[in-house]
Chain A
Amino acid sequence: MAVDYQFIISREDWSLHRKGEVDQHRHREKVREAIKKNLADIVSEESIILSDGRRVVKIPIRSLEQYRFRYDLRKQKHAGQGDGKSKVGDILGSDPVQGPGQGPGAGEEPGQDYYEADVTIDEIEQIVFEDLYLPNLDEKKNKKLASESVEFRDVRKYGIQSNIDRKRTILEVLKRNALRGKPGIHGITPEDLRYKTWEVVPKFESSAVVLAMMDTSGSMGPFEKYIARSFFFWMVRFLRTKYQNVEIVFLAHHTEAKEVTEEEFFTKGESGGTRCSSVYQLALDIIDSRYPKDDYNVYAFHFSDGDNLTSDNEKCIRLIDELLTKCSLVGYGEIEGPYYYTSTLNSYYKRITHSRFTSVTIRDKTGVYNALKAFFKKPEGGGMSG
């Protein structure tokens, strides 16, 4: 072997080299920030609402692209190589009618104008729910045990090894040695040992019930239903994640109202005319028979396209007033579809001035998150229990 062929083969321990991972972590953080900034879009993202329990969804995130001056790739020619038989006119691939980045060479090629991130639904929920609260939650007589938690709040001389309180033990050693005139940490005796001990702390939470009311009449088109269901999808998840003692009652109505199961609520469509008062009356009946005011915080949310029987509107206002005497909050969401009616329910509700009545108008998908924020606003000055 000649000497001048200088080479070395080596194999080092790379286990501490974590640069890629560290920057990947920062990238995840940026993804979280971007999700936060785009919540309004993401909340109404179909891939999430229709995720059917899939835990990871792809969501489009703007602002995580690295922008630079570049050519418009969709207006350029590109070069490729065939198998020897290609001819002018051959089609290499087709883009779907909507949605970017599906062309040949997807990924870095034509027109991808946002970055698609794999995100778990848990992660999105965490971010969405961060700023949502059940407002006006009062302490009620009928508190339910929400959880038991373990708290270390005592130090004792006896206990199990794994609960040794090192700091206190060392302090004991120091104290004893100092008293003997030989300061320092040495000679730990069994008397010095201190143990942490825990207590089981029960937590109580006020009970709440949420009445989810949805218009399923014929005038509610696919868009309106999608919006209403998106809202309730997040509402249900939010309530179940953040509060342990919330019951949800699902009410669907057209000219008549009935209580339905959660599954029916989210899947079934109905038809016919609309009489919103029917659902309010049903809500009142349910509250009176099952959820006494002293025991429950009651919330009522109603979504509709606002297209109601004109003769019914006055009655609706009267019933809303009555609901307000029993509820911590009454929310009304009106979805303004492609057909715009001047005389909608909401224009009647403008007369309601009660502080616990909130109404929102939703014109596009981004309205879903705004509705969530409007209804589940952080209570001012706290006052939450549980």
Chain B
Amino acid sequence: MTERVTDELRELEKAIPQMMEIARRYKLDFYPMRFEICPSEIIYTFGAYGMPTRYTHWSFGKSYHRMKTQYDYNLSRIYEMVVNSDPCYAFLLEGNTLIQNKMVAAHVLAHCDFFKNNMYFSHTNPQDIIESMAVAAERFRKYEMIHGQKKVEAFIDDVMSIQEHIEPHRFIKEKESSKTTGKKEGCCSDEKKVTPYDDLWDLEKKQCCHCGGGCEKKKSTKVPERPEKDLLLFIMKHARDLEEWQLDIISTLRDEMLYFWPQMQTKIMNEGWATYWHLRIMREMDLTEAEAIEFAKMHAGVITPSRNSINPYCLGLKMFEDIEKRWDKEYGEGAGREKIFEIREIDNDISFLRSYLTKELVEELDLYLYRKIGHDWKIVEKNWEKVRDHLVNSMTNCGFPVIVVEDGDYQKRGELYLRHIYEDKELDIKYLEKTLVHVQRLWNRPVHLETKIDKKTALFSFDGEKGSKKFP
């Protein structure tokens, strides 16, 4: 370690408690912090895997390669990586200047505050996520030794193809009715009422024939009873030929997706919050003139808008500042700060944008919508409500199409019938066809997906050998 580096580390060691002090005074509330200084390869490994201890897969190698190349060619640079864990791990890039490290430290304190306090993170397990991912990686390695790398890898490929199709907003609690209380499966079995509201549930039993549960006219045995959004869970429960190790892989990937989901749901808020706070904390630090200039440049780099996408750091920051200003103006000094703390606790990107993105801000930030016309990408919309609604809309289900299981025993042949909940946005057909191949491998029987093309219902099928498309 060179002397300069050691000096800078010592400086950082002094600066961090100061920043924590400032952050605490502002009422930020974070977990104990672990700052690790790592070489770029390590940061990029963590960046690619989303985690320091994740399982092995070629696709992580692919993104690692891409990130590292961009770094090597100086195209982009991540200064830090922070993990939603308790204690909170923040990885700082070796070679960052002192001032870069200070800004990053301030930034991650706010991220950590967000992880700890935003309600969408309340079901993640920050205490043992790092450990449990490491243990899962170890189990996967064992599967590779038993079943061979290729087989395990191909299976992970299959599962990854539908890993976003989970239901994060539901506690998984088996509905007892169909299994344990199902001794009498008639349409109007007289189960004992447990609560005064049970009769409300009975409203669903539309065609009661007063048989007392003994009639032939069985309750619908359709599986699932209602469309099921959690494809991974459905496949875990109902696919017939999966082995124990395969179920473990599905369940692990599903758990990891549940852990990452809140981060995807709050990207704009989380980055906006961290940017808002690194600005304020840094302003209170004693910076030399040179440091202040370097910091200003870095900050400007972080919030540079993009013509082709929305920069979450920029939009999030501007929204928090705008809200604070408006609330202060209306309810008096201090009300704005209180308001943004409330928002960081109870909102996600969808509600954040829907409730707080104003006409003035859309115009000030010059937000617009564009689309492909001919060979050109053209701006087509500047109306603030349309822009806002588009943003909100594009974040529904974290931007993933909603696919539900309609029938797990389609045509009574054990086939899987999926349906795309069409909301005026067509699926990428090539991707759809290729993904069905993966789903078929998981289900091991023919699979179907219903969607719409040019407003017409279309049914795609794959039976293990060939695919087909019909307009029923």
Binding site for B on A (CB under 8 A): 1-2, 5-12, 14, 17, 19-30, 64-97, 103-105, 109-110, 113
Q: Once the chains are docked, how many angstroms separate the CA of A30 from the CA of B428?
A: 24
Q: Once the chains are docked, how many angstroms separate the CA of A100 from the CA of B32?
A: 47
| Further pairs besides A20-B60, A20-B61: 12, Cβ < 8 Å | A1-B17, A7-B33, A9-B37, A17-B45, A19-B56, A30-B58, A68-B160, A68-B164, A71-B401, A80-B367, A91-B378, A113-B430
Cβ contact within 8 Å between A8 and B435: no
A79, A85, A92: residue with the most chain B Cβ atoms closer than 10 Å? A79
Q: Once the chains are docked, how many angstroms separate the CA of A76 from the CA of B315?
A: 21
Against A, the Cβ 8 Å flags (1 = close, 0 = not) of B21-49 are 10010000000111111110110110011
Taking a contact as CB atoms closer than 8 A, the residue among A67, A83, A89, A90 that contacts B161 in the complex is A67
Cβ contact within 8 Å between A78 and B401: no
Q: Which residues of B contact A27 (CB under 8 A)?
A: 58-59, 61-62, 65
Cβ contact within 8 Å between B21 and A21: no
Q: Once the chains are docked, how many angstroms separate the CA of A19 from the CA of B60?
A: 9
Cβ contact within 8 Å between B34 and A10: yes
Taking a contact as CB atoms closer than 8 A, the residue among A25, A69, A86 that contacts B403 in the complex is A69
Cβ contact within 8 Å between A5 and B17: yes
How big is chain B's contact interface, by range?
Answer: 35 or more
Whether B305 sits at the interface, judged by CB under 8 Å, is yes
The SS class assigned to the A binding surface is loop
**Given the known A-B contacts A11-B37, A17-B45, A22-B56, are A81 and B314 also in contact in the complex, defined by CB atoms under 8 Å?**
yes
**Given the known A-B contacts A9-B16, A87-B382, A105-B308, are A79 and B9 also in contact in the complex, defined by CB atoms under 8 Å?**
no
Cβ contact within 8 Å between B400 and A80: no
Q: Once the chains are docked, how many angstroms separate the CA of A79 from the CA of B306?
A: 10
Across the interface, name the chain A residue whose C-beta is closest to B36.
A10
Q: Which residues of B contact A30 (CB under 8 A)?
A: 58
Q: Once the chains are docked, how many angstroms separate the CA of A232 from the CA of B306?
A: 47
Pick the interface stretch among B269-277, B280-288, B368-376, B463-471: B368-376
Binding site for A on B (CB under 8 A): 1, 9, 12-13, 16-17, 20-21, 24, 32-39, 41-42, 44-45, 48-49, 56-62, 64-65, 68, 87, 94, 153, 157, 160-165, 305-311, 314-315, 365-372, 375-382, 387, 390-391, 394, 400-401, 403, 420, 425-432, 434-435, 437-438, 449
Cβ contact within 8 Å between B366 and A86: yes
Q: Which residues of B contact A12 (CB under 8 A)?
A: 36, 38
Q: Once the chains are docked, how many angstroms separate the CA of A90 from the CA of B379?
A: 5
**Given the known A-B contacts A7-B32, A10-B34, A23-B64, are A79 and B369 also in contact in the complex, defined by CB atoms under 8 Å?**
yes
Across the interface, name the chain A residue whose C-beta is closest to B39.
A14
Q: Could you tell me the distance in whole angstroms from the C-beta of A24 to the nearest C-beta in chain B?
A: 4
Q: Could you tell me the distance in whole angstroms from the C-beta of B417 to the nearest C-beta in chain A?
A: 15
Cβ contact within 8 Å between A105 and B309: yes
Taking a contact as CB atoms closer than 8 A, the residue among A7, A20, A69, A110 that contacts B162 in the complex is A69
Q: Which residues of A contact B34 (CB under 8 A)?
A: 7-8, 10
Q: Once the chains are docked, how many angstroms separate the CA of A2 from the CA of B21?
A: 8
A-B contact pairs, 21 of them (CB 8 A): A6-B32, A7-B20, A9-B9, A11-B94, A20-B41, A23-B56, A27-B62, A68-B431, A69-B432, A71-B425, A72-B429, A76-B371, A77-B371, A80-B368, A81-B365, A85-B366, A88-B380, A89-B379, A91-B379, A105-B306, A110-B372
Q: Once the chains are docked, how many angstroms separate the CA of A362 from the CA of B432?
A: 33
Q: Which residues of B contact A68 (CB under 8 A)?
A: 160-164, 431, 435
Q: Which residues of A contact B94 (CB under 8 A)?
A: 11
Across the interface, name the chain A residue whose C-beta is closest to B388.
A79
Cβ contact within 8 Å between B431 and A78: no
B58, B59, B366: residue with the most chain A Cβ atoms closer than 10 Å? B58
Cβ contact within 8 Å between B377 and A79: no
Q: Once the chains are docked, how many angstroms separate the CA of A72 from the CA of B458?
A: 15
**Given the known A-B contacts A10-B37, A81-B306, are A87 and B429 also in contact in the complex, defined by CB atoms under 8 Å?**
no
Q: Could you tell me the distance in whole angstroms from the C-beta of B7 to the nearest C-beta in chain A?
A: 14
Q: Once the chains are docked, how many angstroms separate the CA of A95 from the CA of B376?
A: 6
Q: Could you tell me the distance in whole angstroms from the C-beta of B12 to the nearest C-beta in chain A?
A: 6
Cβ contact within 8 Å between A72 and B367: no
Q: Once the chains are docked, how many angstroms separate the CA of A350 from the CA of B257?
A: 62
Q: Once the chains are docked, how many angstroms separate the CA of A1 from the CA of B437?
A: 60
Q: Once the chains are docked, how many angstroms separate the CA of A25 from the CA of B367?
A: 42
Across the interface, name the chain B residue whose C-beta is closest to A95.
B375
Taking a contact as CB atoms closer than 8 A, the residue among B61, B370, B375 that contacts A97 in the complex is B375
Cβ contact within 8 Å between A24 and B394: no
Q: Once the chains are docked, how many angstroms separate the CA of A23 from the CA of B157?
A: 14
Cβ contact within 8 Å between A88 and B379: yes
Q: Once the chains are docked, how many angstroms separate the CA of A29 from the CA of B61?
A: 11
Q: Could you tell me the distance in whole angstroms from the C-beta of B316 to the nearest C-beta in chain A?
A: 13
Q: Once the chains are docked, how many angstroms separate the CA of A29 from the CA of B35?
A: 35
Q: Once the chains are docked, how many angstroms separate the CA of A17 from the CA of B153?
A: 21
Q: Which residues of A contact B365 (CB under 8 A)?
A: 81
Q: Which residues of A contact B375 (CB under 8 A)?
A: 94-97
Q: Which residues of A contact B61 (CB under 8 A)?
A: 20-28
Task: Return the 9 tightest CB-CB contacts between A and B, nearest first.
Answer: A23-B61, A20-B45, A104-B308, A6-B32, A27-B61, A67-B434, A81-B305, A24-B61, A82-B366
Q: Which residues of B contact A105 (CB under 8 A)?
A: 306, 308-309
Cβ contact within 8 Å between B379 and A87: yes
Q: Once the chains are docked, how many angstroms separate the CA of A88 from the CA of B366?
A: 11
Cβ contact within 8 Å between B426 and A79: no
Q: Which residues of A contact B68 (CB under 8 A)?
A: 20
Q: Once the chains are docked, how many angstroms separate the CA of A197 from the CA of B138?
A: 47
Q: Could you tell me the distance in whole angstroms from the C-beta of A290 to the nearest C-beta in chain B?
A: 51
Q: Which residues of A contact B307 (CB under 8 A)?
A: 80-82, 92, 104
Q: Once the chains are docked, how many angstroms separate the CA of A152 from the CA of B95?
A: 49
Q: Once the chains are docked, how many angstroms separate the CA of A69 from the CA of B369?
A: 23
Q: Could you tell me the distance in whole angstroms from the C-beta of A25 to the nearest C-beta in chain B?
A: 7
